[in-house]
Chains A and B, each alone.
Chain A
Amino acid sequence: MIFLIRMAVKNTFRKARRSLITAVTVLVGVTMIIVAWAFLDGLDNSVIRGQIRSDSGHFRIATKGYFAVEEIDELGPLLEDWTPLKEAMKAESEPKLLPRLSFTGELSDGRHGLTARGIGIEPDAYFKAFDLPFSSELKADALKDGVTPLWLGAGLAEPFGVKPGDTLTVLARTRYGNYTADEYTIAGIIQSQNAVIDSMTFFIPLRKAQELLDTGTAVTEVVGYLSRASLTEELPERMGAVLGTHNLEMQTWQQRAAPTLKLNAVRRKLLSVLGGVILLVAATGIANTMVMSCFERIREIGTMRALGFQIEHVVFLFLMEALVIGFLGATVGSIIGSTVIYNLRDGIDICYSSANKCLEGVPGMALVIARRESLERTEGWARSLSLDLRAQWADLETKGEFRYTPPIQVLLAMSAAIDELEIEGGVEARGERYRSNYRILTQG
């Protein structure tokens, strides 16, 4: 048996060039399938991440019927009072609830107007919870008393040519259908990963939105955040009774992402068919090579038979040869495919640093910069009860506290170190001092 396998491997390389060309067809097919598949996975992830992180959270709750009409009506059925919801959710694993008042409004600079999606929010909590980075913003104290801030997507700011500090008028209709308008000062321009936010959304403080639309204390929906995405699955069922009594409905991120995910599922099916065809072509290539080998070796096969080789042995020999070619192509293809994916992934997942180097703090504290999903994935990995970064992060997010005795002295030293850095003139000035130290040291 071993003898036959060894012979098959040798046979494969008798016509090395031909075997290699056949293997390359397999290789290209496998590489393409792997890369395309990973691309679709990435697409799924970014859709989900974009929605959860910058728009609709893990779940949304609104008055029954709202989700069906929210994209058609200027204001759907309102949620008059969401405080009972707050009470009811207290028992849950402390989700963060953020009320929103979404409406259709027209942004105008006096000459031009653009229809956009306006959202009234509680700015502090909202911008803390969501991933909505500003490309430019006003300093907190630059906003004078009496003016109302407005934050808008970069794609909306561009056509107006506005920057933070400029004013825009919002035109809308109140819940009773009357036209209404108010002036706002741009406090920040948002550049997120979410096209809907960037190109057609603006935010104003919830209270101002309620005044503008004359809705009293009513909101359109409440967006919820959980400490873990997976908790969302059981939530609608457990919340069923509460939602029922208040005539509310819930939409989870899975439901909201369903259309996009379905589209990708179709793409995936298409890809499977295409991949099947590619592999079929590759397999045909191998078969073709084997047929050629058979014809070339008719005499050889005759000799082997005369020496006592059984037909099964000869067949086995050729099958092994085909397997070697296929295996070679598939292995190298997998390696190339994985390498391509690995290099296409963007950047760093988790990066940590000590507080006692260039920050000039005291040792005993580490600074961690991590992608949220990379950090979330480490749930349950820590082998120590207290040294659990993910658990500590989740607690700081939800409770704002250290899980165990906080390292007060180290934290205060860190705070002092940051003050010193600012006094010195920031990273630039400090770097310059180090460079100057270095010059004196080496040249002196």
Chain B
Amino acid sequence: MKELGFRTYLSPEKQGPIITSFHYLEHPKFDYQDFYERLRARDIVIYSGKVSNARCFRVGNIGRIFAADIEGLLSAMERTLREMGVRT
């Protein structure tokens, strides 16, 4: 996520390994709704909002999720951001 440009909502020393909130990308072509729908079309659902006063989404690490799933998520995000024109 760091490589894709996403910043975590909490600083690393406050962050637990269960679920992580990320800020939206500050990029003119980044539209969260569009990002969400495109990921969804790739069978990946991220967790919208929940931190009411910040523009964030969440990614969970718990459940039957393994390293390969996380890596799959990251590459899907990267391809999505390319499609959207956020990444070149």
Q: Is the CB of A440 within 8 A of B17?
A: no
Distance to closest chain B CB from A443 (angstroms): 6
Q: Cα distance A358–B17 when bound, in Å?
A: 11
Where chain B touches its partner, the secondary structure class is: loop
A178 within 8 A of B: no
Contact, CB under 8 Å: B64 / A434: no
* B62 engages A434 (CB within 8 Å): yes
Contact B66 A444 (CB under 8 A): no
**Are B1's CB and A358's CB within 8 A?**
no
Query: Is the CB–CB distance between A442 and B62 below 8 Å?
Result: no
Q: Judge if A437 is at the interface, Cβ distance under 8 Å.
A: yes
A360 touches B67 (CB 8 A): no
- Closest A residue to B75 by beta carbon equals A444
Most chain A CB inside 10 Å of its own CB: which residue of B12, B59, B70, B71: B70
B contact residues, range: 20 to 34
Q: Does A436 contact B (CB under 8 A)?
A: yes
With contacts A437-B17, A438-B17, A444-B1 taken as known, whether A360 is within 8 angstroms of B63 at the C-beta atoms is: yes
With A438-B20, A442-B2, A444-B3 already in contact, the answer to whether A358 and B67 are too (CB < 8 A) is no
Is A433 within 8 A of B66, CB to CB?
Answer: yes
One of A358, A360, A442 near B20 (C-beta < 8 A): A442
Is residue A18 contacting chain B, with contact meaning CB distance below 8 A? no
Docked-complex contact B63 and A441, CB < 8 angstroms? no
Interface residues of B in 61-88 (CB under 8 A from A): 61-67, 69-71, 73-74
Q: Which of A357, A358, A360, A440 contacts B70 (CB 8 A)?
A: A440
Once A437-B17, A441-B20, A442-B8 are accepted as A-B contacts, the answer to whether A357 and B62 lie under 8 Å apart by CB is yes
Q: 1/0 per residue A420-444: CB within 8 Å of B?
A: 0000000000010111111011111
Instruction: For the A-B complex with A434-B61, A437-B61, A438-B15 known, give 13 more contacts whose Cβ atoms are closer than 8 Å.
Output: A358-B18, A431-B17, A434-B17, A434-B18, A436-B67, A437-B17, A437-B67, A441-B61, A441-B70, A442-B20, A443-B1, A444-B1, A444-B2
Give chain B's interface residues, CB within 8 Å of chain A. Answer: 1-3, 8, 12, 15, 17-18, 20, 59, 61-67, 69-71, 73-74
Task: Please provide the 9 A-B residue pairs with the shortest distance between their CB atoms, ordered closest to farther.
Answer: A437-B61, A438-B17, A435-B17, A440-B70, A444-B74, A434-B17, A434-B61, A438-B61, A437-B70
What are 17 A-B pairs with beta-carbon distances under 8 A?
A357-B18, A358-B18, A358-B62, A360-B63, A360-B64, A431-B17, A433-B66, A435-B17, A438-B17, A438-B20, A440-B70, A440-B74, A441-B74, A442-B8, A444-B2, A444-B71, A444-B74
